Amino acid sequence: MKTKLKTLLALVALLFASASTVSAQVSDSEGKKYPHIFLGLQGGAEITLFNDSCEVSPIGAFELGSWFNSKVGLRGKAYFWKNKYDNDTFRQTFKYTNVKTSVDFLLDLTNLIKENRKAKKFSAVWFVGGGFNMNWAKDEAYAATDEYPEGTDKQMRWYGSRHNIGFSANTGFRFQYDIKEWLGVNIEAAGHYNGHHANNYANNLGDWQFTALAGLVFNINKKSSKAAKTVTPPAPVQPTQPAPKADPKPAKKPVAKKPAESKPAVPGKKYVETVFFGNAISELTAEEEAKLKELAQWMKENPGTYIYITGYADVTTGNPELNMEVSQKRAEAVAKLLNEKYGINKARIHVSYKGDTVQPYVTPANNRCAVLSTKK
């Protein structure tokens, strides 16, 4: 048993070492980091089939894992529950405490079927894995081992030590919805087989077990870094003016005229502005946000105008799905600032996003932007 316990601890240590390595890696995409670590807490019910009977018990679980990319991940999971068995021979209930660990391979079926989905929130995941199951017999169950009369049901007799470790296997499906970048909710259903060394009953048979769980998942480094890079806006392109045509007639002497009276500037009919973001960033620097303040003031002076905001992403980084999501976040972040911080009514703000399907600038880094344009 000591050898099995050492193997179990080695697997857990390996998982934590892998997680540490993963956390040091940097995002190479727009909007989400891969790999990223997640933690999960779950609760629910389990059904254990004891040969000719079954037992339903509450169960809790904890998980630590990593998504290496949008499709493939790995997790370590621990389950905790108690079983009880009503023994007719002794007219008493025997109780058993169980702890199970498993290392599971994860496959995101939603991304496998269709990678380029817009702003993915929901995911369906298939998992398969194996590990160890450890349990302990309560005193009454252990003491009853030698008290069974001949010919009685010995299926639930405990033998050997009070605790034991055995191998187990499991597979199932998980459905998750991300409320925030860092928080999600999920439900999970799985089937398990716990080997005969796990239940430690006198008949040496294994147990079939089914679990139904629901819980929360916390994404540790999925959210993009907020350290925005300084982006130098591109120089505005000046329209080319046609060369003046030569006047064939001799120039007349200029006639002195009375200087025209200076008139106040007439508010513009249209306002166009671009705000720039860092790689995988949807927050503005103070310098870029200052442009929104000026735009908001102009809109207040021109109350009949509407603002159209379009978010973009750089095609040279990330993938189409992630770039679509980050372009949406950029456009929505600009709209939120105009409404909540600078007082522009939501009815005057229109939001759209193009991902990397349109590149308004030649320089790739400058396409990490949102373009704002006003209309009557």
**Cα(22)–Cα(38) distance, integer angstroms:** 11
Average pLDDT over residues 40-50: 89
Q: pLDDT at position 80, please? A: 93
pLDDT of 199-221, one tens digit each?
A: 555 455 667 889 999 999 998 87
**pLDDT category, 26, cuts 50, 70, 90?**
very low
Domain boundary assignment for the chain: 2-219, 272-375
Strand order in the sheet with 349-353: 272-276, 369-375, 306-311, 349-353
Q: For the domain made up of 2-219, give the CATH fold.
A: Porin (2.40.160)
- pLDDT of 349 strictly over 70: yes
What DSSP line would sit under 11-71, residue for residue? HHHHHHHHHHHHHT----SSSS-SSEEEEEEEEEEEEEEETTEEEEEEEEEEEEEEESSSS
Return left, alpha or beta for 279; rule: phi > 0 is left, psi -120 to 50 is alpha, else beta: beta
Q: How far is CA 212 from CA 45, 102, 120, in A?
A: 6, 16, 25
Copy the structure tokens of residue 227: 């350290």
Q: pLDDT at position 149, please? A: 52
**Cα(183)–Cα(216) distance, integer angstroms:** 7
**Cα(181)–Cα(184) distance, integer angstroms:** 8
Nearest to 146 by CA among 160, 167, 135, 132: 160
Copy the structure tokens of residue 282: 């949807």
pLDDT of 97-131, one tens digit each?
A: 889 999 999 999 988 887 644 446 889 999 999 99
Sign of CA dihedral 178, 183, 186, 192: positive
Tell which wins on pLDDT, 318 or 329. 329
User: Contact 93/85 with Cβ under 8 angstroms?
Assistant: yes
Q: For the domain made up of 272-375, give the CATH fold.
A: 60s Ribosomal Protein L30; Chain: A; (3.30.1330)
Tell which wins on pLDDT, 208 or 145. 208
Copy the structure tokens of residue 163: 């605790």
Average pLDDT over residues 172-179: 94
- pLDDT of 31 strictly over 50: no
The beta-strand segments (E) located in the chain are 36-50, 53-67, 72-87, 92-108, 122-137, 163-178, 183-194, 207-219, 272-276, 306-311, 349-353, 369-375
What is the DSSP pairing of strand 349-353 with strand 306-311?
parallel
- pLDDT of 72 strictly over 90: yes
Average pLDDT over residues 1-20: 52
Task: Show the CA angle centred on residue 228, arms to residues 348 and 273, nearest 5°.
Answer: 35
